Structure 1
Amino acid sequence: MKIQNAFRAGLIGSLGVGLGIILMTAVQSLATVLTYIFIALFLSLGLDPAVKWLETKKFPKWAAIATVVVGVLGVFIGVLFAIVPAMIDQMVSLWTHLPAEITQLQTQDWIAFLDKQFGDVVDINAVIAEIGKFFSDPANISKIAGGALAVGVGLANAISGTLIVVILTLYFTASLQLVKDTVYKFVPKSRRDNFIRMSEEITGGVGKYVVGQISLAVLNGFLAFLVLTLIGGKQALLFGFLAFLFALIPLVGTVLSWILVTSGQLLLAGPETALIICIYFLIYMQIEAYVLSPRIMNKAISIPGSIVVIAALAGGTLMGVLGALVAIPIAASIVLVVKQVVYPAQDQV
């Protein structure tokens, strides 16, 4: 009897391990699809406050959802046809003229100044010449780009992934309340009211956080593009878009935008333009940190600054930019659960 029980336990255990391996393999295989779903759900929570705001303006629910959906589609199509072609042209132009721009640095006065100051330590002109030679070699360019086929496949995947995310976002936005109601039904009735209250508070905070972070990123990208255009910067649209993308990263995004745009303009447009854009970013970062961000984010999340930093670093390490973006609202949700569930439970012991 004991041998039979031991065999049964071993069999059940091995089956459990095998099932776990199968599930982990399935999750790994569906990682891309799950990422699309997660991003779309995250964005739909960001659109939900707009739907609720329209409902407060006497819009019927279906009309509020339709208005938001049409607005998102309009923005997506507008960006796709108005901005993307020009940005691709600037990317191609930058990539084509990059070797010549690097080589031309040797004639710049500020390079001569640096060479005079640090020439005994490092030969700056020789370094620039080697970098220009590297980028002039088609074999090296192919290695960096991963080959023309890989670039084409990557671009096609990016476009298809964006379309999938947009479609899923619109679907989740239209059916978000239905999804919530379905989840709520799995909670026992005695705890359902408290669960609904906490869930609405969490999803509302996440939605406001998404709106706030995207708003700051759009403002950062637009102002960078505008300043570059006014001062005669090079590839203004491309660098404005890069500033928008980097600004999506919490905490350090604007700093990365500052470094990238300033370095790019120093290479392409010269030290005067780089100095102006550098000063602009220094001023903007102060305004964002002390004026814009507190006003936009004050109703979204309320967690200690140390947890914000730790959450962003952990999320970025695990899932890259997406992880850094979603880590803060997840941390805020955990803090809320601890305050409203764990602490009261401990007080009753």
Structure 2
Amino acid sequence: MKKIRELIVFTAFLVVALWKFDVVIEVLKSIWKIVFPFALGGAIAFVINVPMSFLEKKMLGKIKENNKIGKKAARPISLLLTIILAAGVMVLVMFGVIPQLTQTMGNLMTSISDFIPQMQNWIREFSHDNQDIMKLVDQLQFQPDQAIKWGISLLGNGVGNMMNTTMSAVGSIASGLATFFISFSFACYILFQKEKLHLQVRKVIFAFIPKQKADAILNICSLTYRTFANFLAGQCLEAVILGMMFVITLSILKMPYALLIGILIAFTALVPIFGAFIGCAVGSFLIFMVNPKQAVLFIIVFLLLQQIEGNLIYPHVVGGSVGLPSIWVLAAVTIGGNLMGIIGMLIFIPLVSVFYTIFREFVYLRLKKQHIKRVTRTDVEEYAEEEIASSFILPNEK
């Protein structure tokens, strides 16, 4: 009777939600707007917790054991070091990449203007001076002065439009800063009180949910945290190693834009499978504008370093932390990219890994219930009678 009443109530809520679908969406948007700073704070805390925990355990662990003051100061110090590390990365990008990128744009205009006559000569030789083809090729012109004027006019229009909406822009910036301040403060609170919060969450779950289901929920949460944390740490470390390999190799070979291309590949390598190839395409284009022969050499170097990274570095750095077969990694990246862009590519791999692990355990449990020990391509092996009697216990018989 209770289940029937719950089903009737659920059906009534579902009918009302579908009938007033627009109202439900607006209510959900309002709720999300309120909850968003705290959700963002939780995400920031999760990301910061990975390097902070490493510093707290590996670097400050001995101090915590031998000193009470050190035990209290270990977490604030590790959090401060993590923030300094993140700020250092941002400073490196701002002062190491942006100035070189500005210089690259200037050199790129000169390179394009010098490259077009060379390309016209190559096409003339390849086409044996075909007049129809050369009429089309001769129309290709690049004037740096006109490109600069176009950029200035575009910037001027953007500035004019921005000035027309100054108050709106200031309001958006102020709102964004306030949201970030609330989120960051909430993240710091979570990091300082994470053991206490963990204990409180466990108490609430066991208070309102049966013990068997509560254990299952906590196991899934623990699996999710480990998978995401291992993937994040491994992917970031692997991207740094790959970027350093490119900077060192390109510098030894005296190729242009070594630092810029190395940092670009390091950032794009955070996106599994496709990311590094995006960096390769951009790097190849930049080098091609300076020296086409070096661009071919860069592609060869990229393929060699990718093989070294894929076969030697990635298995040891990331290893089996994700636990997904390659085909499911590709599917996760594709689906996540279509749904949520780059963020989806990063989130869906560990998310699919969690679902894959849970589903695999469910399959093994179903096989045990049917007394099936192993399934091969041609045979199904069942448990022997002695094994069933001595070691196999069904969950409802425990």
Whole-angstrom distance in 1 between the partners of 2:187 and 2:48: 5
Measure how far apart 1:330 and its partner are: 0.6
1:193 aligns with 2:215: yes
Aligned pairs for 1:97-116 within 5 A: 97-108=107-118, 112-113=121-122, 116=125
Moved more, 220-229 or 12-21: 12-21
- Residue 74 of structure 2 corresponds to residue 74 of structure 1: no
SS of 1:295 mapped into structure 2? helix
Residue in structure 2 matching 1:94, options 91, 104, 107:
104
Q: Which runs of 5+ in 2 are unaligned?
A: 1-11, 65-70, 164-168, 370-394
Q: CA deviation at 1:327?
A: 0.8
2:337 is aligned to 316
Paired residue type of 1:44: I
Deviation at 1:57, TM superposition (A): 4.3
Is the CA contact (8 Å cut-off) linking 1:231 and 1:273 kept in structure 2? no
- Pairing 1:271–2:292 present: yes
- Give 3-state SS (helix, strand or coil) of 1:257's partner: helix
Instruction: Select which of 153, 159, 181 maps to 2:199.
Output: 181
2:58 to 54, 61, 83: 54
Q: Distance in 2 between matches of 1:168 and 1:96?
A: 44
Tell whether the 8 Å contact from 1:49 to 1:204 is kept in structure 2 after alignment.
no
Q: Is the 8 A contact 1:202 1:333 kept in 2?
A: yes
2:68 is matched with which residue?
Answer: none
**CA distance in 1 between partners of 2:137 and 2:335 (Å):** 40
Pick from 123, 130, 141 the counterpart of residue 129 of structure 1.
Answer: 141
Report the AA paired with residue 201 of structure 2. V
Give per-residue Cα distances to partners, 1:35-56, cap 9 Å, x unaligned.
8446424413533651574399
Separation in 1 of the partners of 2:155 and 2:332? 32
Query: 2:126 — aligned with what?
Result: 117
User: Given the two structures, how large is their TM-score scaled by the length of structure 1?
Assistant: 0.76
Query: Where do residues 1-349 of structure 1 align in structure 2 (5 Å cutoff)?
Result: 13=16, 17=21, 19-26=23-30, 36-37=40-41, 39-44=43-48, 46-47=50-51, 50=54, 53-54=57-58, 57-58=61-62, 60=64, 62-108=72-118, 112-113=121-122, 116-117=125-126, 125-126=137-138, 129=141, 136=147, 138-139=149-150, 143=154, 147=158, 172-187=190-205, 188=209, 190-191=211-212, 192-267=214-289, 269-340=290-361, 344=365, 347=369
Q: Is the partner of 2:141 in helix, strand or coil? A: helix
Compute the TM-score of the two structures, normalised by the length of structure 2.
0.68
CA distance in 1, matches of 2:261, 2:72: 39
Cα deviation 1:78-98 (Å, max 9, x = unaligned): 334455223221122223343
The AA in structure 2 aligned to 1:220 is L
* 8 Å CA contact retained: 2:272, 2:333: yes
- 1:210 to partner: Cα distance: 0.3
Cα deviations by residue, 1:176-208 (Å, 9 ceiling, x for unpaired): 444443433342251333433332232112111
Kindly provide the CA deviation profile for residues 28-75 of structure 1, in whole angstroms up to 9, marking residues without a partner as x: 757985784464244135336515743994453655533432322222
CA distance in 1, matches of 2:22, 2:193: 36
Cα pair 2:110 2:144 within 8 Å, conserved: no
3-state secondary structure, aligned to 1:129: coil
Query: Bigger CA drift: 210-219 or 175-184?
Result: 175-184
Question: In the comparison of the two structures, how many residue pairs are matched?
Answer: 336
Let me know the Cα RMSD of the aligned residues: 4.3
More displaced 10-residue stretch of structure 1: 13-22 or 223-232: 13-22
Q: Secondary structure at the match of 1:185?
A: helix
Identity %: 18
Residues 185 and 211 of structure 1: is their aligned pair in 2 closer, same or farther, counting only changes over 3 Å?
same
TM-superposed CA distance for 1:169, in Å, is 5.7
Q: How far 1:282 moved relative to its partner?
A: 0.8
Larger Rg: 2
Answer whether contact 2:268 2:278 (CA < 8 A) is retained.
yes
